[in-house]
Structure 1
Amino acid sequence: MIRQPSRHCTVELQAAPARIGHVRRIVSAQLRYWRLDALVDPTALGVTELLANVHRHARPSKHCTVELWVLLDQLTVSVHDEDPRLPRLRTADDWETCGRGLALIAALSQSWGIRPEDHGKVVWFTLPAPAAGPEGVRTVRPLWAPPPLEDAHPTAGPRTLLPGTKVG
């Protein structure tokens, strides 16, 4: 199955601290415009971490591009920079004040990765995108599922049913 982007956004910037906050606000506003409010916080956190890595480590330039794509059921966020050196996931010691960025990306995302390119690299992560629920209500499928609740006995009291649900 070929999946085409249904929504796409690109922001180019110099990864300076003031610009990082500005891009975080742009990304948050774009997700709200797309009605993906549930993804604002994890996306803003991930973008902040990736841009902070560009600011701290990228050479020779801090120029980078942030891209957002929503494909059917997935948001992909990527940061392209001009530094060919690939970051590595590592375990930071308790006393260290940095070194947890990629671990944070790995923890908050559905998937993530690093891809070398002709003029630098791309670091990306994905989050599950909302699916249309009953009567157009948009829901986000969690990355984990709580244990199922046991069904209440039919005589235990009233149950709330979604419109269009059949009892039987």
Structure 2
Amino acid sequence: MPISETSDGRPRCVFPFKAAPAEVGLLRNAAVRQLARWGMPAVLDEAEVVITELATNVVKHVGDGSAATLVLEWRSERLRLEVHDTSPALPAPRKADCFEECGRGLHLVAGLTADWGVVPTVAGKAVWCEVPINSGTGCRRIERAVGLLEAYQNMGGAPERQGRSWEASLEEAAVELIAGLLHWSAARGHDPDDFLDRAQTSYEAAAEAA
């Protein structure tokens, strides 16, 4: 169970968890329920992806079964997420091959959030990030997509792209990003076709509401 408390008058919630594949989904669901109680439906998409990536990184790079903690803190116009673990090694984004999943976690986090970083702690380290709460959902979707595409494009650094226009390169990056996300979903046991159908349904619903 999370430990609810306040820090300088700000709502704060702490979720201790064990770093294991089966625990990641449970942690994500518990955090989403807490954010719903705080009345933050606009940040749920970002929070789900960020929590999944950061918790999965602990499993992969610190060790299956290691102790970790997720902290959610409501800071005025932003939601701050922190994942604490027991390893002093500080992670950094690295270049990854097109279909290599593990090298992209921090690039996704950077693209989905307003800011992020890593700080040493007495017990190990904490990876933190902040998501805007009150931004317009439609504008934020566009900004998030552009940020992800640009981060994804910069990862490749392929020489053959340098002579192309920015728009053409961005279109290619979009296709590669979608392909990478489909591989990401398949690696977690999901049906990529189902993901595409759900994304199309979500897009059409948002377009109709606009």
Place the TM-score, normalised by the shorter chain, in its bin. 0.7 to 0.9
Once the 2 structures are TM-superposed, how far is the Cα of residue 32 of structure 1 from its aligned partner? 0.6
**1:93-132 alignment, distance < 5 Å:** 93-130=97-134
1:166 counterpart residue number = none
Once the 2 structures are TM-superposed, how far is the Cα of residue 98 of structure 1 from its aligned partner? 2.0
Is 1:88 the counterpart of 2:92? The answer is: yes
**1:14-163 alignment, distance < 5 Å:** 14-59=18-63, 62-130=66-134, 142=140, 144=143
Q: 1:60 to 1:32 in 2, by over 3 A?
A: closer
One-letter code aligned to 1:58: V
CA contact (8 A) 2:19 2:64 kept: no
Structure 2, unaligned stretches of length 5 or more? Answer: 1-6, 145-210
Give me the TM-score of the superposition, normalised by structure 2. Answer: 0.60
* Greater length-normalized contact order (CA 8 Å, ≥ 6 residues apart): 1
CA contact (8 A) 1:70 1:129 kept: no
One-letter code aligned to 1:78: E
User: Which has the larger share of strand?
Assistant: 1
Q: Deviations over 1:92-112 (max 9, x none)?
A: 111423210000000000000
User: Which has the larger share of helix?
Assistant: 2
Q: Deviations over 1:10-42 (max 9, x none)?
A: 000111111110010001001111110111111
One-letter code aligned to 2:36: R
Once the 2 structures are TM-superposed, how far is the Cα of residue 60 of structure 1 from its aligned partner? 9.2
SS at match of 2:102: coil
Once the 2 structures are TM-superposed, how far is the Cα of residue 59 of structure 1 from its aligned partner? 4.9
Q: 1:39 to 1:96 in 2, by over 3 A?
A: same
Q: 1:142 to 1:97 in 2, by over 3 A?
A: closer
Give me the TM-score of the superposition, normalised by structure 1. Answer: 0.74
Q: RMSD of the alignment, in Å? A: 2.3
